[in-house]
């Protein structure tokens, strides 16, 4: 049988950036094929070429053995290719059904009509465990379900080859397991899946083969059964990588940040944060574990001054800051790395050096009076680019043109490099490659050791356990448990995350 996909000598440049160099790749039909590589290695670019989003400068694409020109996503869909992008491409104010039908190339779905599409959605939902309410508004759905809409959209269009670009970056471990079950079901039906992920555990668990990219090149291919996470990590980064965190026990000092009885309600009056009290001390990392959607995001927003709580009190260094703005909190030494970098961390049309400054425009280091000292801003951006190995190292490039992981590094560098007294950080390594994770983890530990108080919210239980000195578990808006990291394990935390309370356990 001909391979589902064969790429021969695919090449693509963006100005000075050589994003894909002479790429050869074979993906067998009916297999799950992983692609790994550092941030900016060229993974998304290569898949965007396959999906007709970009056209390659050179090279050939063969689908099921036949050479195809793919000049638009319409061509790709006609060739049986579907793609779920790293950043979703849904229209948030519209319903699930409208999103699925929207832009259905050739009007095929429109011709069949809404009723037929509705029926097809229900059928796919049953076949692959992808049930969804077709009338729900996409913008109101949690990310896990928005992703489901993207997958359904591809399947409704008849995709036989499904490309998923970092699908689990936004999912909880349980949601990721569900997704993998679904990918296995697709494979069992002879469909082909390409999976891009930074999580080597996932590559090892679900793929048949894996290809490694580095700096625009395809550098190695492995049978998953014959490789290891460590070998893949070395192939990706070009050196051995520490997959574990090295740290000494914390020496916590006085309370830096405290919350008492916080209540944050959503628009319909539901308490997303339900009487939460916590304290964070100088020189410690406190992790907040939980299945996403259990109030962690709202807690972060309240503590960062972005959405004030309806009840309760927040103190910073003993001072009541409950009603202060994010800007005022920043001046008091509280930095915040938002969970969702696209909505809150960055302005995509801005140049990198402008995004690297967001929220700190008033800093006297960038000039006095109404005008910014552009040279100082750029010099500062370059220093951070070097420190965090942002690729490409160009502070004049538009933020949107950096790869996903490099965008995350821009936000992290901005917030962490100011040596804040208190850092609240949401999903710090979401979408970030393993080399950069190693760096970010070391940096967080170094900040802790230098006396910072760090509140870490992450859906990666491994990350919470590796970095935290103390762990709070959130479920249904409440803190359902507190453990010293040294005294607990994933099973116990998992039970608390699922709402099995201390007494019941
Ligand atoms: N539209 C564009 N204009 C200019 N440069 C771009 C554009 N798209 C991508 N690049 C550059 O091409 C390179 C490869 O980016 P790509 O998004 O393919 O990386 P990636 O492997 O998907 O990384 P990540 O893991 O961070 O998502 C990067 O240096 C990126 O900055
Ligand atoms: Mg990418």
Convert the pLDDT of each residue in 434-457 to its tens digit: 888 988 999 999 999 999 999 999
Structure tokens at 340: 């969702």
Backbone angles phi, psi at 193, to 5 degrees: -125, 135
Give the integer Cα–Cα distance in Å for 170 and 143.
Answer: 7
DSSP state of 250: P
Q: Starting from the edge strand earliest in sequence, which strands make up the sheet with 478-484, in order?
A: 334-337, 422-426, 453-457, 285-289, 470-475, 478-484
**What pLDDT, on the 0 to 100 scale, is given for residue 380?**
93
Closest residue to atom 27 of ligand 1, CA basis: 404
| Ligand 1 neighbourhood includes 14 CB (under 6 angstroms) | yes
Give the integer Cα–Cα distance in Å for 207 and 193.
Answer: 9
Please identify, in words, the CATH class of the domain defined by 242-333+420-505: alpha beta
Respond yes or no on whether the N-terminal peptide bond of residue 392 is cis (omega within 30° of 0): yes
Closest residue to atom 24 of ligand 1, CA basis: 39
DSSP state of 338: -
Q: Starting from the edge strand earliest in sequence, which strands make up the sheet with 255-265, in order?
A: 271-281, 255-265, 311-316, 319-320
How many CB atoms within 10 Å of residue 367? 15
The correct CATH number of 5-237 out of 3.20.20.60, 3.30.420.40, 3.30.470.20, 3.40.50.300 is: 3.40.50.300
Cα Rg of the chain, angstroms: 23
**What pLDDT, on the 0 to 100 scale, is given for residue 483?**
95
**What pLDDT, on the 0 to 100 scale, is given for residue 504?**
47
**What pLDDT, on the 0 to 100 scale, is given for residue 441?**
93
Q: How many CA atoms are closer than 13 Å to the CA of 145, on its beta-carbon side? A: 17
Beta carbons within 8 Å of 437's beta carbon, 6+ residues apart: 198, 429
Collect the ranges in the chain with pLDDT lower than 50.
Answer: 504-505
Among all bound ligands, the one having the nearest atom to the CA of 403 is 1
- pLDDT tens-digit map of 462-486: 899 999 999 999 988 999 999 999 9
**Torsion sign across C-alpha atoms 141, 147, 152, 154:** positive
Q: Tell me the best of 15, 18, 19 to mutate to test the pocket of ligand 1, counting ligand atoms within 8 Å of each CB and taking the most.
A: 19
Give the integer Cα–Cα distance in Å for 473 and 480.
Answer: 6
CA 40 – ligand 1 centroid, Å:
5
| Ligand 1 neighbourhood includes 430 CB (under 6 angstroms) | no
**What pLDDT, on the 0 to 100 scale, is given for residue 239?**
82
Atom of ligand 1 nearest to the CA of 405: 26
**What pLDDT, on the 0 to 100 scale, is given for residue 303?**
97
Query: What distance lies between CA 318 and its chain's CA centroid?
Result: 34
**What pLDDT, on the 0 to 100 scale, is given for residue 505?**
41
**What pLDDT, on the 0 to 100 scale, is given for residue 144?**
78
**What pLDDT, on the 0 to 100 scale, is given for residue 107?**
55
Q: Which of 372, 352, 369, 353 is nearest to 361 (CA)?
A: 372
Residue matched to tokens 């000598």? 9
Strands (E), 77-185: 81-84, 161-165
Residues of the chain with CATH 3.40.50.300: 5-237, 242-333+420-505
How many CB atoms within 10 Å of residue 406? 26
Beta carbons within 8 Å of 3's beta carbon, 6+ residues apart: 26, 27, 28, 29, 62, 64, 65
pLDDT cut 90: percent of the chain above it: 62
Give the integer Cα–Cα distance in Å for 28 and 5.
Answer: 7
């Amino acid at each position: 049988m001909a391979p589902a996909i064969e790429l021969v000598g695919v090449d693509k440049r963006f100005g000075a950036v050589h994003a894909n160099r002479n790429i050869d790749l074979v993906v067998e039909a009916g297999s799950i094929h992983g692609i790994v590589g550092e941030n900016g290695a060229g993974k998304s670019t290569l898949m965007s070429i396959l999906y007709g989003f970009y056209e390659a400068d050179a090279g050939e694409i063969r689908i099921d053995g036949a050479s195809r020109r793919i000049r638009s996503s319409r061509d790709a869909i006609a060739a049986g290719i579907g793609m779920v992008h790293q950043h979703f491409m849904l229209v948030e104010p519209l319903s699930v059904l409208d999103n699925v039908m929207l832009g259905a190339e050739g009007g095929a779905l429109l011709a069949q009509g809404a009723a037929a599409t509705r029926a097809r959605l229900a059928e796919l939902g049953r076949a692959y465990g992808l049930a969804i309410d077709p009338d729900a508004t996409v913008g109101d759905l949690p990310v896990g379900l928005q992703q489901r809409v993207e997958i359904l959209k591809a399947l409704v269009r008849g995709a036989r080859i499904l490309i998923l670009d970092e699908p689990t970056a936004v999912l909880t471990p349980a949601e990721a397991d569900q997704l993998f079950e679904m990918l296995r079901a697709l494979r069992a039906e002879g469909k082909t899946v390409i999976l891009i992920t930074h999580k080597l555990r996932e590559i090892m668990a679900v793929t048949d083969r894996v290809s490694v990219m580095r700096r625009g090149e395809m550098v190695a291919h492995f049978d998953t059964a014959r490789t290891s996470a460590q070998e893949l990590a070395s192939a990706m980064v070009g050196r051995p990588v520490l997959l574990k965190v090295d740290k000494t026990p914390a020496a916590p000092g006085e309370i830096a940040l405290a919350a008492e009885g916080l209540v944050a309600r959503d628009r319909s009056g539901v308490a997303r944060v339900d009487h939460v009290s916590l304290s964070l001390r100088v020189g410690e990392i406190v992790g907040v574990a939980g299945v996403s959607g259990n109030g962690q995001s709202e807690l972060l927003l309240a503590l960062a001054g972005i959405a004030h709580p309806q009840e309760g009190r927040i103190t910073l260094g003993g001072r009541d800051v409950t009603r202060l703005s994010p800007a005022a909190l920043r001046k008091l030494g509280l930095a915040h790395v938002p969970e969702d970098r696209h909505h809150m961390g960055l302005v995509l049309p801005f140049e990198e050096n402008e995004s690297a400054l967001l929220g700190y425009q008033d800093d006297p280091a960038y000039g006095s009076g109404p005008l910014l000292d552009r040279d100082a801003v750029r010099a500062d951006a370059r220093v951070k680019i070097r420190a965090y190995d942002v690729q490409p190292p160009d502070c004049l490039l538009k933020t949107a043109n950096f790869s996903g992981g490099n965008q995350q590094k821009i936000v992290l560098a901005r917030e962490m490099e100011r040596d804040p007294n208190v850092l609240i950080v949401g999903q710090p390594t979401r979408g970030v490659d393993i080399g950069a994770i190693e760096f970010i983890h070391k940096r967080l530990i170094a900040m802790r050791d230098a006396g910072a108080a760090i509140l870490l919210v992450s859906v990666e239980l491994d990350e919470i356990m590796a970095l935290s000195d103390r762990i709070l578990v959130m479920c249904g808006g409440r803190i359902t448990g507190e453990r010293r990291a040294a005294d607990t394990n994933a099973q116990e935390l998992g039970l608390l995350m699922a709402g099995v309370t201390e007494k019941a356990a």
